[in-house]
Amino acid sequence: MEVEVKFRYRDGVEEKLREIAELIIEKFEHDFYFNHPCRDFKKTDEAVRIRRDVEGVTITYKGPKVDSETKSREEVKVKVDSFENAAELLKKLGFKPVEEVKKTRKIYRVGDAIVCVDEVEGVGRFVEIEIESESIKDKEKLFEIAELLGYSRDESITQSYLEMILQEK
What are the tens digits of pLDDT across the range 31-41? Answer: 999 999 999 99
Q: What's the rounded Cα separation, in Å, for the pair 115 and 5?
A: 10
The CATH number that applies at residue 44 is 2.40.320.10
> Of 107, 113, 159, which Cα lies nearest the Cα of 140?
113
Query: Annotated catalytic residue: which of 33, 108, 151, 161?
Result: 33
Q: Is 151 a catalytic residue?
A: no
Q: Is the pTM of this model over 0.75?
A: yes
> Of 108, 134, 113, which Cα lies nearest the Cα of 17?
108
Q: What is the DSSP letter of 30?
A: E
Using the predicted structure, report yes or no on whether residue 138 has a pLDDT greater than 90. no
Largest CA distance in the chain: 48
Question: Domain range spanning residue 8?
Answer: 2-168
Number of domains in the chain: 1
